[in-house]
A and B are shown apart, each in its own frame.
Chain A
Amino acid sequence: MRVLVIEDDAEAAAYMVKGLSEHGHVADHAIDAETGLIMAETAYDVIVLDRMLPGMDGLAAAETLRAKGDATPILFLSALGQVDDRVKGLRAGGDDYLVKPYAFAELLARIETLARRRGDEPQTEIKVGDLEIDLLGRRVSRAGEKIDLQPREFKLLEYLARNADRVVTRTMLLENVWEYNFDPQTNVIDVHISRLRGKIDKGFDAPLLHTVRGAGYRLSEAG
């Protein structure tokens, strides 16, 4: 996957590029929005864009990019965490918003989800191993056995399944499944996950819902 990092903090950008390449991605760095916009003309899968940049700021850069008809997913990085800042970022054409300081695992998970989302086609059914999820009928079965899920559990599984084989963080789950973006003190998400796990993995030899240490969770057939 090709990632363009537009960030004025060279050291932070260097860590980001190193981390991304260690995870098998190709990352380029632009020091300001003007350079970034020129580099963005070659195809990237995801653009990581800092909100505060010298000269043209991140919001203006995103707007320029969208005005040119470029639909590359944009992940905003910002030290501003107020709700309206997030809203402004998304309105300017951003696809996701991450507040500094962030964990690298969080950034990586979001970049990978964004890149995947691009190729999404409307799905009516998702299969992960022997787990089958019928999105229209809202039915779930594993190895032909029907599994009963609460509405929220279904939403949680659906999000995990749409991002199958990728890491999703707790914050991403809270944002996308519960539509809240604060940090709960207790890891409430863990308990929801363990309940879901009790329904889809219990009694089967190969677990599908994996915990990724220090990052989050992954739904996949492979371990």
Chain B
Amino acid sequence: MMGGLRKLIRSTAFRLAAFYLLIFGVSSAGLLGLVYWRSAGFTAQQIDETIAAELQGLNERYRLLGIPGLRQVVAERSGKQSQSLYMLMNPEERPLAGNINGWPKADLMPGGWMDFEYDLAVSGKTERRRARARKIDIAGGFRLLVGRDVQQRDELVSLIQSAFWWAGGGILAFGLVGGLLVTRSTLRRIDAMGAASQQIMAGDLSRRVPVNGSGDELDRLAASLNAMLDRIENLMTAVRQVSDNIAHDLRTPLNRLRARAEVTLMSEAEPEAYREALERTLQDADALLGTFNALLDIARLEGAADAGPSDIIDLSDIVADVTELYEPVAEDGGIALLAEAKPGAAMVVGDRRLLAQALANLIDNAIKYTPTGGAVRVSAVTVGGSAELSIADNGPGVPEAERARIFDRFVRLEADRSKPGAGLGLSLVRAVAQMHNAEISAEDASPGLRVTLKLPSAA
């Protein structure tokens, strides 16, 4: 619990909450103070003004009627039920009229003001009450005092004060609890992220940081962390796949190569037989190296950062070059290789060599699966912001269920086991496409297969 509290206090969110609470507290105190000053101060001022006005009135009465008149008025007013207090004293210190018993013993403040307490009889009991008054000296040693009972006012003021304390306390408590709650919920989300990262570090790469869909900063952070994790998982999968591939698909031919060498060495053969075995071993080794290089190329392309190629390339140039390269092969197989690409019709940003290799692999593949008398069509056009490079054959095509698989490594459909190849050509095409932010798709060309690469257009 203590540890939790310490962690809470140390957290950024808590500090922020405390800071806001401080600002809020100071401004509320200022506001409450202003209200207090305006209300209590105003009442006090009103009382003083009333007293001063009454005193002035009585003073005028004295000037007109002398002491007897003043005494009468004071006596009259004293008899009324009011909050006003009066006292008229003669030079012998004897009260002539008034409603308080005895001249109050209090220090005189400037202007003749005084604050004092007096006894008031209420329903048989005497009550000590607070008052404020002002005295004036009248000619001949007479003194007049006019005051007001301020007990009620003081009670109101203290009521306001206590209300303010309660309100202030409530605001602070509410702010503190609210702040803690907000902090706790934020902390809990951060802790959940931390826990997820721990699990990911422990090896569970499929774990993701929780996203609550609120779209706030934490949520956006979680989303980009997840995107990063997706990328890492993809790379890890690619690496694992390469090692799996090496284990499965390179071990078999290596074994065959080794067996041939071993068997040849065991038998007493003619030099010619040795030569032949060595040559075949060399061929096998070359094929293995080719596969190995292709795997590395694919892995390297898949792992490459997005910011790779930067040359502006006319796809029609590549189409022209590569179809020209493959044209004799197609012709030998009795296949028409048709290129439909006008110069400048499809401009992209890319790597010329890689795009050419991808196209070469696609054409190679198409020619391999097209029967004599068939046709392979290569086209490059720009359709709505993307440059489309498509290669269609009119061979047997690929069943829909298997179309998505053809770009995976070492995938050779059952029907093609008799054809040469390691099943890496289309994987390389996909890797090149990914590197160029291109969308790759395989669809039915009825009959045949059409592979389309949609690259962002640079036109």
Query: A152-B324, A178-B325 are known contacts. Are A185 and B361 too (CB-CB below 8 A)?
Result: yes
Establish whether residues A185 and B425, one from each chain, have CB atoms under 8 Å apart when the complex forms: yes
Q: Is B215 an interface residue when CB atoms closer than 8 A count as contact?
A: no
Q: Which of B305-330 contact A (CB under 8 A)?
A: 321, 324-326, 328-329
Task: Say yes or no: is B290 at the interface (Cβ < 8 Å to chain A).
Answer: yes
Complex: chain B residue closest to A189, CB-CB: B325
User: Is B163's beta carbon under 8 Å from chain A?
Assistant: no
Q: A83's contact among B324, B353, B360, by CB below 8 Å, is which?
A: B353
The answer to whether A204 has its CB under 8 Å from any CB of chain B is: no
Q: How large is the interface on A (under 10, 10 to 19, 20 to 34, 35 or more residues)?
A: 20 to 34
Whether A144 sits at the interface, judged by CB under 8 Å, is: no
Is the beta-carbon distance between B325 and A188 smaller than 8 angstroms? yes
Interface residues of B (CB under 8 A from A): 279, 282, 286, 289-290, 293, 297, 300, 321, 324-326, 328-329, 332, 351, 353-354, 356-357, 360-361, 364, 367-368, 421, 425
User: What CA separation (Å) do A103 and B279 show in the bound complex?
Assistant: 13
A191 x B279 contact (CB < 8 A): no
Residue of A nearest to B290 (CB): A183
Q: Say yes or no: B360 contacts A184, CB within 8 Å.
A: yes
Q: How far is the CA of A214 from the CA of B300 in the complex (A)?
A: 29
B367 to chain A: which residues have CB within 8 Å?
Answer: 186
What chain B residues lie within 8 Å of A101 (beta carbons)? 289
- Establish whether residues B364 and A191, one from each chain, have CB atoms under 8 Å apart when the complex forms: no
CA distance A40 to B96 in the complex (A): 136
Is A118 an interface residue, CB under 8 A from the partner? no
Please tell me if the beta carbons of B289 and A180 are within 8 angstroms of each other in the complex.
no
Is A146 among interface residues, defined by CB-CB distance under 8 A?
Answer: no
Instruction: With CB as the reference atom, state the residue of chain B lying closest to A153.
Output: B328
Contact yes or no, B328 A182, CB < 8 A: no
CB distance from B395 to the nearest CB of A (A): 16
Q: Is A82 an interface residue (CB 8 A)?
A: yes
**Complex contact A195–B364 (CB within 8 A):** no
Q: Nearest CB to that of B358 among chain A residues?
A: A182
Judge whether B329 and A188 touch: CB under 8 Å.
yes
Report the bound CA distance from A195 to B328 in whole Å. 8
Q: Which of A152, A180, A188 contacts B326 (CB 8 A)?
A: A188
Output the least CB separation between B276 and chain A (Å): 12
Contact with B along A185-210 (1 / 0, CB 8 A): 11010011011000000000000000
Q: What residues of chain B lie closer than 8 Å to A152, measured between beta carbons?
A: 324
Question: Across the interface, which residues of B come within 8 angstroms of A182, CB to CB?
Answer: 353, 356-357, 360
B332 near A191 with CB under 8 A, answer yes
B289 and chain A: residue at smallest CB distance: A101
Give, as a whole number of angstroms, the nearest-CB distance from A191 to chain B.
4
Residues of B within 8 A of A191 (CB): 328-329, 332
The answer to whether A214 touches B289, judged by C-beta atoms less than 8 angstroms apart, is no
A177 to B289, alpha carbons, bound, how many Å? 25
Q: How far is the CA of A178 from the CA of B351 in the complex (A)?
A: 16
Closest 8 CB pairs of A and B: A182-B357, A191-B328, A185-B364, A191-B329, A101-B289, A186-B364, A188-B329, A188-B325
